Chain A
Amino acid sequence: MRCWGAVLTLIALGRVAAAAEPPAKPSPAPRTACIECHSELDGDEGEPVKRAADDVHFQKGLSCHDCHGGNPAADPDDVVAAHDERRGWNRPSRVGIPLFCAKCHADAGFMKRFNPQGRVDQLAEYRTSGHGKRNAAGDGKVAVCIDCHGVHGIRAVKDPASPVYPTHVAETCGRCHADPKLMRPYGLQTTQPAAYKSSVHAHALYEKGDLAAPTCNNCHGSHGAAPPGLQSVVQVCGTCHTREATLFLEVEKKKGLNLASCIRCVVCHDNHAVQAPVDEMIGVGPKSTCTSCHKPGDTAYDSTRAMAAALDGLKARHSHAQDLLDRAGRAGVEVGSDVVALQKAGDQVIELRVLAHSFDRERYLASASTGLAAADAGVAAGDRAFRELKQRRLGLAVSLVVIAAVVAGLLLKIREIEGAGPGP
């Protein structure tokens, strides 16, 4: 009798204790033998289960055995039955991971179930990359899938916490590519991540939050990561900076030049530490990028000097017109439509900055004079406004004189009517 009592009490206490604990985080996947056993383990062997809730594979309904094989329905205490090699149980080596992941990710029929539009060529791309080539040669130190995407807690790329979300890519690549110890055996520099961090692209991405701003993978590729070849730098920059790239290639064709050896865009703008361009980059001043190759006496030297002068001239005239119209507006003359018309001059300044990449003096100067015409119209409008202001003041003076005369007349009339001085 007392035995039963003790058992019942223990069961009751157990129930109470269980109720008092916070409920365990529900695992999205059904409770398989794998999870049953590994959730009790510590360290590396317990990690996978802890991370399972964040993992996109689990969220899609897959589980441990879908990648690692084995028997999920085995008795959790029976390791041998669970780790059944006949049922495909395996633990891939580092070098074997690309093939391991590609088992599904390169299978179009399989991936269609989860994302009909998803790509399945990641492995093929990887094989073209520096990482992929060395991996194929047996190098276990280069990056494989899990180094960028994580392992067991793999988040979708569009998940902001994923190591391959745009704002984390540079950090992820930098884990190896900023480490001199790791890069020295391959003869690779490690300045790129820091250089990138100083660039205007990084500023756009991290500070302005513009997710369209490029990070490592946008120029280098993600799976097929490799530095763009000399021929392709201009195409790569040109995916966003289309006009500049088109102009650049046009001028090469027209003048029969091949500037691939000075890596086109990079020679003036750098590749990683891209800074915001300034107008002083053309012309012959200290910040000019032209004068690093073109010396006085060179036609290009004269051209760039003329072009810079035209740009400065337009900017000055535009600013003068803006200032005039602004002051006229504040003084009370309505100049709204003139301000709108002046936009054209501002548009031309932007146009000129793009046209610098055409290296075509005539075209550049023609565009500058269009802008100058608009700016001149703005200045004329501003002058007109000030003339009108003068006229208003003149009109005011005249009317005040007339009013003063009337007031004087009235006061005299009052005095006349009342004989002595005016009353209150």
Chain B
Amino acid sequence: MSALVRAAAWLEERVGLSAFAALAREKHVPVHRHSLWYYLGGMTLFLFGIQVVTGILLLLYYRPSSGEAFESVQFVMARVPFGWLIRSIHSWSANLLVFVLFAHMFSVFFLRAYRKPRELTWLSGMLLLFLMMAFGFSGYLLPWNTLAFFATQVGTEVAGRVPFVGGFALRLLRGGDQVTGATLTRFYGFHVAVLPALTTLLLGAHLLLVQRHGMSVPPSVESEARRTGLRVPELPFFPNFLLRDAVGWCVALGALAGLAALAPWELGVKADPFAPAPAGIRPEWYFCWMFQTLKLLPARILGVDGELVGILGFGLGGLLWTLVPLFEREGTSDRLRRAITVAGVLVLVYMTFMTIQAYLPEKH
């Protein structure tokens, strides 16, 4: 025992972590009827952690060249002990991560946690959302199977339609004019180096800001507290909230293990750039709502190319959504606040509906 105490004292003199320990003890989490949503942030972080660990394990065997990528994933699935487990967890966790991330984002939106002083937290969070979708898009290509190849072709094609910068962006993404082995290597670089670096910075900022400001209390709870005069009850983060977080994380881990063992992620067939695209190509489900929208838009809208209108619409929508803290400030009217809520509900309903639509069999 005394050895441990002495070691702790040695560290304390040099690193001085006791200040952080003190801060940690002071960290509290408000408890109210909406506080269940608080767990989503931690869950997202946990799932991201799983991605980092399984991702690092996978890259010990993966080969980012068009001639070997598919075979290396096949090798991991068939020959490496527990390779099937690591790979399936990585693929499932990616999808779970995006789902939880969207839930986290929407819950923050509807609970209005982006209000002052948390505007930068919201901004860093939205940027992290875009980064995670980029992770998903780049990672999807890496097994170099038919579905991924053509989904990437379609996805980068859409990126190329953006006015002015589209052509440049397409060549930058594809590493050329077509989707080739060069695209694969480039996407691999994005997926394991560029995006993780950017994520580290933004995630660090995001978490620091959350520590700085603490958990936001939704306006309805706040006004109720003001009315009754009672303080909103709180729970210490260490160990109470963290223990509850841990319960959620264990359940998530169990779910991932179950999915990996009972519904393993498919490998498909190696991509053949010269074969015609199979019917029913679509991107990963979290891009489907955009994909479906573009499919349904008419060829021309007010004289402008329909798809272009769609792409610009998404860009504008994303921008407005990211800038929502600017619209809801202290002086904003109740009407505007309600409009923002309604807009949010419409967006959520639209995205859900379009995602489901994309998976229904096509009627001719």
Interface residues of B in 82-119 (CB under 8 A from A): 84-85, 88
Interface: B254 (CB within 8 A): yes
Q: Is the CB of A407 within 8 A of B84?
A: no
Instruction: Compute the total of residue contacts between A and B using a CB distance below 8 Å.
Output: 67
Q: Which of A66-74, A185-193, A258-266, A328-336 contacts B (4 or more CB under 8 A)?
A: A328-336
Q: Is the CB of A396 within 8 A of B78?
A: no
A393 to B260, CA, bound (A): 10
Q: Is the CB of A396 within 8 A of B84?
A: no
Interface: B56 (CB within 8 A): no
B251: chain A residues at CB < 8 Å are 403, 407
* Closest B residue to A418 using CB positions: B240
Interface residues of B in 242-291 (CB under 8 A from A): 243-244, 246-247, 250-251, 253-254, 257-258, 261-265, 267
A101 to B74, CA, bound (A): 67
Task: Tell me how far the C-beta of A168 lies from the nearest C-beta in chain B, rounded to whole angstroms.
Answer: 32
Which of B35, B79, B261, B264 lies at the interface centre, i.e. has the most chain A CB atoms within 10 A of its CB? B261
B247: chain A residues at CB < 8 Å are 407, 410-411, 414
- What number of A residues sit within 8 Å (CB to CB) of B? 26
Interface: A116 (CB within 8 A): no
Q: Is the CB of B250 within 8 A of A414?
A: no
Interface residues of B in 30-63 (CB under 8 A from A): 31-32, 35-36
Q: Is the CB of B254 within 8 A of A414?
A: no
Select A417's contact among B32, B240, B246, beta carbons within 8 Å.
B240
Select A334's contact among B78, B243, B257, beta carbons within 8 Å.
B78
A332 to B87, CA, bound (A): 11
B74: chain A residues at CB < 8 Å are 334, 336
Which of B85, B235, B254 lies at the interface centre, i.e. has the most chain A CB atoms within 10 A of its CB? B254
Q: Is the CB of B35 within 8 A of A417?
A: no
Interface: B142 (CB within 8 A): no
A392 to B31, CA, bound (A): 41
Task: Tell me how far the C-beta of A383 lies from the nearest C-beta in chain B, rounded to whole angstroms.
Answer: 16
Q: Is the CB of A424 within 8 A of B35?
A: yes
A103 to B354, CA, bound (A): 77
A413: chain B residues at CB < 8 Å are 243
Select A400's contact among B32, B79, B258, beta carbons within 8 Å.
B258
Q: Is the CB of B240 within 8 A of A396?
A: no
Given contacts A334-B84, A417-B240, A424-B36, contact A406 B78 (CB under 8 A): no
* Closest A residue to B253 using CB positions: A403
A284 to B336, CA, bound (A): 87
Q: Is the CB of B257 within 8 A of A400?
A: yes
Interface: B214 (CB within 8 A): no
A404: chain B residues at CB < 8 Å are 254
A392: chain B residues at CB < 8 Å are 84-85, 261
Task: Tell me how far the C-beta of A14 lies from the nearest C-beta in chain B, rounded to whole angstroms.
Answer: 53
A400: chain B residues at CB < 8 Å are 254, 257-258
A393 to B258, CA, bound (A): 9
A335 to B84, CA, bound (A): 12
Given contacts A332-B84, A337-B78, A414-B244, contact A423 B31 (CB under 8 A): yes
B36: chain A residues at CB < 8 Å are 424
A335 to B267, CA, bound (A): 11
A266 to B262, CA, bound (A): 56
A407 to B235, CA, bound (A): 20
Task: Tell me how far the C-beta of B255 lies from the nearest C-beta in chain A, rounded to whole angstroms.
Answer: 10
- What number of B residues sit within 8 Å (CB to CB) of A? 30
Q: Is the CB of B84 within 8 A of A417?
A: no
Given contacts A403-B250, A423-B235, contact A393 B261 (CB under 8 A): yes
A411 to B248, CA, bound (A): 11
Q: Is the CB of B78 within 8 A of A414?
A: no
A403 to B255, CA, bound (A): 10
Q: Is the CB of B244 within 8 A of A406?
A: no
Q: Is the CB of B244 within 8 A of A334?
A: no
Chain A 396-424, CB-CB to B under 8 Å as 1, else 0, gives 10011001101100110110011000111
Task: Tell me how far the C-beta of A384 lies from the nearest C-beta in chain B, rounded to whole angstroms.
Answer: 11
Q: Is the CB of B31 within 8 A of A395?
A: no
Which of A396, A399, A411, A424 lies at the interface centre, i.e. has the most chain B CB atoms within 10 A of its CB? A424
Given contacts A332-B84, A337-B78, contact A423 B257 (CB under 8 A): no
Task: Tell me how far the C-beta of A334 lies from the nearest C-beta in chain B, rounded to whole angstroms.
Answer: 3
A417 to B239, CA, bound (A): 9
Task: Tell me how far the C-beta of A186 lies from the nearest C-beta in chain B, rounded to whole angstroms.
Answer: 53
A334 to B264, CA, bound (A): 10
Q: Is the CB of A417 within 8 A of B243?
A: yes
Given contacts A334-B77, A417-B240, A423-B240, contact A393 B84 (CB under 8 A): no
Chain A 304-331, CB-CB to B under 8 Å as 1, else 0, gives 0000000000000000000000000001
A335 to B258, CA, bound (A): 21
A418 to B247, CA, bound (A): 16
Task: Tell me how far the C-beta of A280 lies from the nearest C-beta in chain B, rounded to whole angstroms.
Answer: 34
A412 to B132, CA, bound (A): 35
> Nearest 6 CB-CB pairs, A to B?
A332-B264, A334-B78, A396-B261, A334-B77, A403-B254, A392-B261
Given A332-B264, A424-B35, 11 more A-B residue pairs with CB atoms under 8 Å apart are: A332-B88, A334-B78, A334-B84, A400-B254, A403-B257, A406-B250, A407-B247, A407-B251, A414-B247, A423-B240, A424-B32
A residues in contact (CB < 8 Å) with B: 331-337, 392-393, 395-396, 399-400, 403-404, 406-407, 410-411, 413-414, 417-418, 422-424
Q: List 22 A-B contacts (CB under 8 A).
A: A331-B264, A332-B263, A334-B79, A334-B84, A336-B78, A392-B84, A392-B261, A396-B257, A400-B254, A403-B254, A403-B257, A410-B246, A410-B247, A414-B240, A414-B247, A417-B240, A417-B243, A418-B240, A423-B235, A423-B240, A424-B35, A424-B36
